[in-house]
Amino acid sequence: MAETKKKRSKPIIIGASFIAAIVIFVWGFNFLKSTALFQKENIYYASYEKVNGLIKANPVVINGLRVGQVKNVYFNPDMSGNIMVSMMLTSDFPLPSNTVARIFSSDIMGSKAIELVLGDSKTILQEGDTLPTSVEAGLMAEVNAQVQPIKKKAEALLGSIDTLVIAFQSIFNETARKNLKETFEHLDKTFANLQNATSNIDTLVVEESSRISAILLNLDSLTTALNENKGNISTIIENFKVISDSLSKSEIPGTFARANKVLDDMQAVLNKVNSGEGTIGMLINDDSLYLELNRSATALDSLLNDIKKNPKRYVRFSLF
């Protein structure tokens, strides 16, 4: 009887062990996949143009806290080439309708994850909805974005340097170098002349030091004299001030006006004389009057000479 019971219990033990092994296997498999067996799962979807290496079981986080994982990654059935990602969330945290599923690098090795960037909409997503998406630039893209401005600046700098070199080559040709050489030679001569001039000035100062001292002494004496006679100088300046005030009060403009009138009248007279008007003008400008006067003077002179020679011809005496 005991052996019969033992034989009956053996298959039961084997079957229970097999069932337990299956349960442990399923639990372990789901544990490795980070899947909870007895926890509610919410499925959401996202559509990307590219996923940058996102694969199944990559984590899904909200503010750094893991709330689920990527369940599947596949091409969109509409043949658009977009990639659909299904996300399995184990959290009941409400997601606003404008929450963005952003793919980012979760570690320095470039492992990908999805971060749910919560929006501010009052409408809550329902299970099975599709979220707006974005993709964080990869490490290489970030490096390129940072290096690109530097590259552009370096290219612009190289272009400027090239232009500068060409300009220097065009400016400093053989003729320019010759001119520069001559310029430096002239500068050397100029500095030499300046040095000679400075030496001559030093020599002159040494040789004429006594005269310079005398001049300075005279200047000092003059300054002293001016200082001693500043009262007289003040008086002289005051007298000039009085004279200036007197002149300013006098009718100098009227005097000058009258003098100008006299000069204008004299100029008018001279103009009339020069034009032959009047007796003086005729005397100066008409030769006939001069000639008549000259002839009259000659005739008178002849008459006087004749009277001297022959007085009896002109003077007769009679006693009776």
pLDDT tens by residue, 97-119: 999 999 998 887 878 999 999 99
SS3 helix, strand, coil % of the chain, rounded to 5?
60, 15, 25
Contacts of 143 (CB under 8 A, 6+ apart): none
Contacts of 230 (CB under 8 A, 6+ apart): none
The confidence score (pLDDT) of residue 320 equals 45
The confidence score (pLDDT) of residue 192 equals 85
Each of the 320 residues of the chain gets a pLDDT tens digit; together they read 555 555 556 666 776 776 777 767 665 655 555 555 455 788 999 999 999 889 999 999 999 899 999 999 999 998 889 999 999 998 888 999 999 999 998 887 878 999 999 999 999 999 999 999 999 876 555 566 667 778 788 888 887 887 877 776 666 667 777 777 788 888 888 888 888 888 878 787 777 777 888 888 888 888 888 888 877 788 888 887 877 777 666 666 677 777 788 888 888 777 776 776 666 666 666 667 667 777 888 888 887 887 777 776 666 544 44
pTM of the model: 0.38
Dist. CA 61–CA 172, nearest whole Å: 67
Candidates 97, 98, 102; CA nearest to 87 is 102
Candidates 49, 55, 127, 119; CA nearest to 88 is 127
Dist. CA 57–CA 70, nearest whole Å: 5
Dist. CA 50–CA 52, nearest whole Å: 6
Residue type, 233: I
C-alpha to C-alpha distances, 67 to 59, 233, 279, nearest whole angstrom:
8, 107, 139
